[in-house]
């Protein structure tokens, strides 16, 4: 499978091949701050299936283990990356409806006014892919 996506202004475009090995909703404070939303939805892929097809992102080193890629023009946040894996923010996909979340992570940091009724498993912290 091939997934295509990009930023709001169109300066950055990407392609990722293969199936995501995890798709879900992250409620961590970093995701809340970077998105301005109560949680983000992302899909994790192997790094070797990803390529920028137009433009180059700017990066923010958000922790010791990961950086986040965003458009230097419109500030759309597109990726979460480390040496082994790469996450795509689902809202940046051209066809986000094709992504099917399987769980919620970092619900220990979930806002009290967020009410979930989707039946997906919840994890208080980080979830290991495939669990």
The predicted-structure confidence for 110-128, as pLDDT tens digits, reads as follows 999 999 999 999 988 876 5
With 0-12 / 13-18 / 19 or more C-beta atoms within 10 angstroms meaning exposed / middle / buried, residue 69 is buried
Which one-letter DSSP state was computed for residue 12? -
Q: Match 């994890």 to its residue by tokens.
A: 123
Q: Does residue 99 contact residue 93 with C-beta atoms inside 8 Å?
A: yes
Residue 80 pairs in a beta bridge with 68, 87
Query: For 37-76, where are the E strands, in sequence order?
Result: 40-46, 50-54, 58-61, 67-70
Which one-letter DSSP state was computed for residue 76? -
Q: What is the mean pLDDT of residues 9-33?
A: 95
Confidence bin at 131 (pLDDT 50/70/90): very low
Q: Comparing C-alpha atoms, which of 20, 95, 6, 91 is closest to residue 51?
A: 6
Rounded Cα distance between 29 and 17, Å, is 29
Q: Does residue 43 contact residue 92 with C-beta atoms inside 8 Å?
A: no
Which one-letter DSSP state was computed for residue 93? B
Mention every residue, 6+ apart, whose C-beta is less than 8 A from residue 31: 39, 40, 106
Q: Taking the model in full, what pTM does it have?
A: 0.88
CATH of 2-109, one of 3.90.1590.10, 3.90.226.10, 2.60.40.1120, 3.40.50.1820: 3.90.1590.10
130 pLDDT higher than 70: no
User: What would you measure as the largest C-alpha separation in the chain, in angstroms?
Assistant: 40
């Amino acid at each position: 499978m091939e997934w295509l996506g990009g930023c709001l202004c169109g300066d950055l475009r990407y392609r990722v091949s293969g199936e995501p090995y995890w798709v879900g909703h992250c409620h961590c404070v970093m995701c809340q701050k970077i998105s301005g939303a109560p949680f983000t939805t992302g899909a994790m892929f192997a790094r070797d299936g990803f390529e920028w097809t137009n433009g180059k992102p700017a990066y923010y080193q958000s922790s010791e283990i990961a950086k986040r890629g965003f458009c230097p023009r419109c500030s759309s946040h597109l990726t979460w990356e480390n040496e082994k894996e790469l996450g795509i923010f689902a809202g940046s996909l051209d066809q986000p409806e094709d992504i099917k979340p399987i769980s919620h992570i970092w619900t220990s940091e979930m806002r009290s006014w967020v009410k979930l009724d989707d039946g997906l498993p919840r994890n208080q912290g980080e979830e290991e892919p495939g669990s």
